[in-house]
Amino acid sequence: MKVIQTPLVFIPVYKDYIWGGNRITAAYGRTGTPPVCAESWEISAHPDGESVVSSGPFEGRGLAELAREYGRSLLGTRAPDPARFPLLFKLIDARDRLSVQVHPNNENAQHTGGEPKTEMWVVLDRTPGASLYAGLTESASPAALRAALADGTAAEQLVQLEVEPGQALFIPGGLVHAIGAGCLIYEVQQSSNTTYRLFDWARTGADGQPRPLHIEESFKTIDWSLPAPQMLDPAPRESDDGNLWSDMVSCDFFTLRKLDLEAPLRVTLDRSSFHALFVTAGRLTVTAGNESHALAAGSSALIPASATGYTLNPEQDSTVLITTL
């Protein structure tokens, strides 16, 4: 088996959806972003926006290609497909509300031909009063929701949640949801780009026409058994080295933990999973396989599963989101 052990840093893929803003550019000093930057696909092997390595020995190589070539050396033994990178990592800047939508899960994706998508959000920033929408009210039913869609009152069927920076929210496939205006989000999701729009707030697209809705696909996808989730406020726990770890979300597809890093840290890998890093604050250096990369706030890196481990050296107090399978 071919072995890959060095950190991989990628060129972001930007999306200019109409609801986006400019905070990704402003907050993280990005260049090359579109005037309206709704999403930055940070680490992705999806054909709708594949990541390309920005520097180092694998410069110019695509993540999907590397997954096919290096298999479990890159992905780890937990990966469901040894040649397909299973997750997608995004930044989302919602200047305006996103559509009310739903994604398939592994059980019902076959009904519509879509790709399953369970995801989670970490709130990086928000304007005062910003909120998220997740789940349907207790009184909601298929008939009530169809009626609300017809008369434009679908928002009344949604559970609305106030948010604070640092909170997380888990969105399983089949759950109706929307990101509210003013939220800057870090998203971890299954590698999928299937979205079924139920309601779009009477908005028109760049052509002046309403954006397409997917009512029937949505009703085949909604899991009516799912309760409305609550915002998560993970409690940190101190490690022996003085750094703080917080367990944020763990599900069948990924586990995300937050690390508040004050002292150098060596993380040991057991070949079961890659580690995907996103620095939310501070500045640090990550070293693996005798190669180092400096990561400022807003930077992402991927540590291959076959690396024996990696070292994080903070130049200042830093916060890192670390995702594994």
Is 196 found in the same domain as 251? no
Is 273 found in the same domain as 156? no
Cβ-based neighbours of 291, under 8 Å, separated by 6 or more:
6, 7, 56, 57
pLDDT digits (tens, 9 = 90+) for 57-83: 999 999 999 999 999 999 999 999 999
Task: Give the pLDDT confidence score for residue 278 in this predicted structure.
Answer: 99
Higher pLDDT, 239 or 179: 179
Residue 2 lies in a domain: no
Q: How confident is the model at residue 239 (pLDDT cuts 50, 70, 90)?
A: confident
Q: What number is the average pLDDT over the span 217-230?
A: 97
Catalytic residues: 197
Q: Tell me the pairing of strands 255-261 and 318-324.
A: antiparallel
Is 259 found in the same domain as 203? no
Please say if the pLDDT value at position 300 is more than 90.
Answer: yes
Q: What number is the average pLDDT over the span 123-142?
A: 97
CATH of the domain at 250: 2.60.120.10
Residue 72 three-state SS: helix
Tokens in use for 70? 């290096």
Last residue of a domain, one of 221, 249, 277: 221
Number of domains comprising the chain = 2
Closest-CA residue to 90 (of 119, 127, 125):
119
Q: What number is the average pLDDT over the span 106-129?
A: 97
How far, CA to CA in Å, does 106 sit from each of 79, 115, 177, 221, 255?
A: 15, 8, 18, 10, 18
Task: Give the pLDDT confidence score for residue 207 in this predicted structure.
Answer: 87
Task: Give the pLDDT confidence score for residue 215 in this predicted structure.
Answer: 97
DSSP state of 299: -
Is 243 found in the same domain as 209? no
Cβ-based neighbours of 138, under 8 Å, separated by 6 or more:
none
Last residue of a domain, one of 158, 191, 221: 221
Please say if the pLDDT value at position 1 is more than 90.
Answer: no
Task: Give the pLDDT confidence score for residue 294 in this predicted structure.
Answer: 98
Q: What number is the average pLDDT over the span 148-155?
A: 92
Task: Give the pLDDT confidence score for residue 44 in this predicted structure.
Answer: 98
Tell me if the pTM is above 0.95: yes
Q: What number is the average pLDDT over the span 302-319?
A: 97
CA distance 284 to 209: 46
Task: Give the pLDDT confidence score for residue 319 in this predicted structure.
Answer: 98
Q: How confident is the model at residue 205 (pLDDT cuts 50, 70, 90)?
A: confident
For residue 217, the Cα-to-chain-centroid distance in whole angstroms is 23
Please say if the pLDDT value at position 206 is more than 90.
Answer: no
Residue 297 lies in a domain: yes
pLDDT digits (tens, 9 = 90+) for 242-253: 899 999 999 999
Per mean pLDDT, which range of 123-137, 172-186, 230-244 is the poorest?
Answer: 230-244
Is 295 found in the same domain as 198? no
Please say if the pLDDT value at position 214 is more than 90.
Answer: yes
Q: What number is the average pLDDT over the span 135-144?
A: 96
Is 137 found in the same domain as 86? yes
Tokens in use for 49? 């926006």
CA distance 56 to 178: 38
Q: Which residues form the domain of 255? A: 237-324
Q: What number is the average pLDDT over the span 171-176?
A: 98
Cβ-based neighbours of 255, under 8 Å, separated by 6 or more:
249, 323, 324, 325
Task: Give the pLDDT confidence score for residue 24 in this predicted structure.
Answer: 98
> Is 166 within 8 Å of 123 (Cβ atoms)?
yes
> Is 222 within 8 Å of 176 (Cβ atoms)?
yes
Closest-CA residue to 258 (of 272, 248, 269):
248
Residue 103: count of CB within 10 angstroms of its CB:
27
Mean pLDDT of the chain: 97
DSSP state of 113: T
